Amino acid sequence: MAKWTARHEAPEPLEGPVVATVTGGTIIWFALFLVQLPFYGWFSDRGQLWWVWTCAAGGVLGLIGIWYVRGREAALKRHAEAAAAEAEAEAEAAGAAGAGAPAGPDEAAGPEDGSGRPGRTG
C-alpha cells in the first residue's frame, strides 16, 4: 500500500470560468450533433450511428452540467458573502469592545519615546 500513498500535498484545485467552459462544451456537442444529422443514413449504413447519439448525449449531459455548475457558483458566492458578513460583524464587535475599555497605564502614557507607539518611558 505504501507505493500508492502520496508523498506530497495535493495542489489546490484550479478555479476558472467553469460556467463558461461547460456552456462552451455543451454548444460544441450540440453543434456536432446538428452537423452529423444530415448524414444520418451514411452513419447508419456503416454501423456508426453511435457517433450521432454520442453527440446528442453530450449535449443533454452538458445541459445538466450547466444547471449544476450555475448552482455551485451561486452557493460559493453565498458562502463568500456570509463569511464576509461574519468577519465584518466580528471586527465591529472587537472594535466596540476595544473602544469602550479603559486605557491601561501603557496606553495612557502616550508616545513619549518618539517612536509613535504608546508605551512607558523610563
pLDDT digits (tens, 9 = 90+) for 59-118: 999 999 999 999 999 999 999 999 999 999 988 888 887 665 555 555 555 555 555 555
Residues 15 and 23 sit within 8 Å (Cβ to Cβ): no
Asked if residue 32 is part of any domain, the answer here is yes
| Dist CA 106 CA 120 (whole Å) | 6
Tell me if 44 is assigned to some domain. Answer: yes
> Across the chain, what does the average pLDDT equal?
85
In a domain, 48, yes or no: yes
Do the domain assignments include residue 110? no
pTM of the model: 0.63
What pLDDT band is residue 20 in, cutting at 50, 70 and 90? very high
Does 2 reside within a domain? no
Is the CB of residue 29 less than 8 Å from the CB of residue 58? yes
- Total structural domains within the chain: 1
Residue 113: predicted pLDDT: 52
Q: Does 39 reside within a domain?
A: yes
Are 48 and 99 within 8 A, CB to CB?
no
Q: Is residue 92 part of a domain?
A: yes
Range of the domain at 55: 17-96
Give the count of beta carbons closer than 10 Å to the beta carbon of residue 60.
Answer: 14
d(CA 47, CA 24): 29
Mean pLDDT, residues 47-65 taken together: 97
Identify whether 55 is part of a domain: yes
Letter for the amino acid at 8?
Answer: H
- Angstrom distances, CA of residue 66 to CA of 13, 15, 27, 90: 19, 16, 11, 36
- Residue 61 near residue 67, CB atoms below 8 Å: no
